[in-house]
Amino acid sequence: MSWNDFHQRRDIADSVLRKAASNPEGPLPFAEVRGAEQAFGTEEQLLLYLHYRWAQLVSGYLRAELSDETESVDGTRNAWRKAVARHRDLHEVLDANIGRYESLRRVHETQLRTLAVSAGLADPGEPLDEITRIGSAFVALIDERGKPKARNGLSGLLRMLAPTA
């Protein structure tokens, strides 16, 4: 692959992400982006490319967070949350499409195992399905997308001061 091909694929993937950002749960706008089929062939290949990008980002955050004296669970949590916060569109598009292709599910499970081992919650010698389950539970615990928005301080204070029965 030439540098031109590399940059073309990156630009096409970025374009698909921009279009998908308005509805990450919806269909991937693969056919709407000129050159996507020529560059990637299929939506599956594009999603695998996007997951590779995501895995590189998460790995970079993990290296940065775990390079100091940070507790491994805290460092892994911080790395994951930073990656999700800074690359939300990419994460949401991948998250919405994980179940579409077996190949994407497999690379996702590999990442879950990486997180479980990085956090020190699993040992690399344990059965893969167990490590995957631990990684999945870890991500579910640290994922902030489904949490309710924090209430303002005043309403919380008033609730604490209100008499209870």
Dig out the tokens for 8 from the structure.
Answer: 């073309």
pLDDT tens-digit series, residues 108-122: 999 999 999 999 999
Find the mean pLDDT for residues 133-160.
69
State the pLDDT at residue 82: 97
Dig out the tokens for 133 from the structure.
Answer: 């389950």
State the pLDDT at residue 163: 56
Q: Identify whether the C-beta of residue 64 lies closer than 8 Å to the C-beta of residue 79.
A: yes
Cα of 85 vs its chain's centroid, Å: 9
State the pLDDT at residue 71: 87
pTM, entire model: 0.83
The residue assigned the tokens 């930073």 is 82
Dig out the tokens for 70 from the structure.
Answer: 């940070």
Nearest Cα to 111, choosing from 83, 147, 150, 85?
A: 83
Whether residue 157 is predicted with pLDDT greater than 50 in this model: the reply is no
Whether residue 162 is predicted with pLDDT greater than 70 in this model: the reply is no
Nearest Cα to 81, choosing from 62, 68, 67, 99?
A: 62
- Residue 112: C-alpha distances to residues 23, 52, 80, 107 (Å): 25, 14, 11, 9
pLDDT tens-digit series, residues 8-63: 999 999 999 999 999 999 889 999 999 999 999 999 999 999 999 999 999 999 99
Find the mean pLDDT for residues 118-128.
96
Element containing residue 44 per DSSP (H, E): helix 43-66
State what percent of residues in the chain have pLDDT above 90: 76
Find the mean pLDDT for residues 118-145.
94
State what percent of residues in the chain have pLDDT above 70: 87
72/105 Cα distance (integer angstroms) = 25
State the pLDDT at residue 146: 52
